[in-house]
Copies of this chain bind each other. A is one copy, B any other.
Amino acid sequence: MSFSFRLVTEPRALGPRAGVITTPHGTIETPVFMPVGTQATVKAMSPVELEEVGAQIILANTYHLYLRPGHELIARAGGLHRFMSWNRPILTDSGGFQVYSLGDIREITEDGVRFRSHIDGSYHVFTPERVIEIENALGADIAMCFDECVAYPSDRSYVERSVRRTTRWAKRCKAAHGRKDQALFGIVQGGVYPDLRKQSALDLAELDFPGYGIGGLSVGEPKSVMYDVLEETVSLLPVDKPRYLMGVGSVDAILEGISRGIDMFDCVLATRIARHGSVMTSTGRIIVRDARFAEDFGPLDPECDCYVCRNFTRAYIRHLLKAGEILGYRLTTYHNLYYLIKLVRGARDAILSNRFFEYKQEILMRTAKRSDS
């Protein structure tokens, strides 16, 4: 089955909505949170556990997989799904964000980006055509256009030139993209400049992509700025196509995104903080490594019904983390993903029963005290 999207709520330019994405590897109910499997594995999780926590789709990183083990190897393995034994949908990013993160060790031209591998320092070039070739080889259900993510803050003049180039690159990506069983999403850029965001959104909408990423947010700008930019941007995107807010994964930002009509989210936050002992709960984040949990024989989150909360105590998980035991990282990761996926699933249910804003307010109120960014 090829790619499609349908809304199950009334089509509106803005505001929370629920939908269903269909892909060759099954359907995705939106809004959806996508765990990040950078190197063809969501850190510390097995595919079976990803299903248990309710992951409908995961993300993988083109940049990382291109460098190691190499996209040709993955193609010879039968594609990314078979390589990592994950039979549900996958989305690959384009490497634009990773290349941006490399900072000094990359050089951007009209043709593309020359960069050095963070693994061995070797030189590589990503052009729009090359990235599409790599994403085609990986074979995800959804591929992203190669874009330039600009830092915050950036000069308006730079962002203006960059966003135009990103549109030209999007055209080249579309022209190079051949796989019928893979949907190619455009990526809206434009920094924090509303008019540039508007231009980017309109230009990309004209290219008629089956879905749209919103990139370059959550890169250091104040949250209020992000929400304003988001609102401007979303209202200019086609209402009947999925909208994906890239790299955003804190509880409050996800809820604010859903409020503004975002359908898809991804972020390493939940899994990364988990490995540092930070746990998302229904009353906000706790640092389970803290000494005050040494003899706390309750679950990570008393309101959670996941495998971890049904079987293990804060005291035990703290012990594992202090001792550097792999199971500690596994348990906090499992719980955080379960929590976040359930939160977004709950948002969908709330949208469908017309009580999303109550749902959002209640969660924000309960988690606010201890929750950061």
Contact = CB atoms under 8 A, between A and B. Distances in A.
Interface of A: 39-41, 43-48, 68-69, 73, 76-78, 83-85, 294-295, 297, 307, 311-313, 315-316, 318-320, 322-323, 325-327, 329-331
A322 B69 CA distance: 9
Contact of A47 (B77, B311, B320): B311
Given A83-B316, A85-B312, A327 B77 contact: no
Contacts of A294: 69, 73
Contact of A40 (B39, B78, B297, B316): B316
Contact of A330 (B69, B315, B326): B326
Contacts of A316: 40, 77, 83-85
Contact of A325 (B41, B76, B307, B312): B41
Given A44-B327, A77-B315, A326-B326, 20 more contacts: A39-B325, A40-B319, A40-B320, A41-B326, A41-B327, A43-B325, A43-B327, A44-B326, A46-B330, A46-B331, A68-B322, A69-B294, A69-B318, A69-B319, A69-B322, A73-B315, A77-B316, A78-B297, A85-B312, A326-B329
Residue among A44, A46, A295, A329 with the highest chain B CB neighbour number at 10 A: A46
Contacts of A46: 327, 330-331
Contacts of A43: 325-327
B311 A41 contact: no
Contacts of A326: 41, 43-44, 326, 329-330
A85 B320 contact: no
B85 A41 contact: no
Given A323-B39, A327-B41, A311 B85 contact: yes
A68 B319 contact: yes
A336 to B, nearest CB: 15
Nearest to A275: B326
A45 B312 CA distance: 14
Across the A-B interface, give the 3 residue pairs with the lowest CB-CB distance, nearest first: A69-B319, A44-B326, A85-B311
Contacts of A311: 47, 85
A264 B314 CA distance: 33
A226 to B, nearest CB: 31
A320 to B, nearest CB: 6
A44 B46 CA distance: 12
A295 B74 CA distance: 9
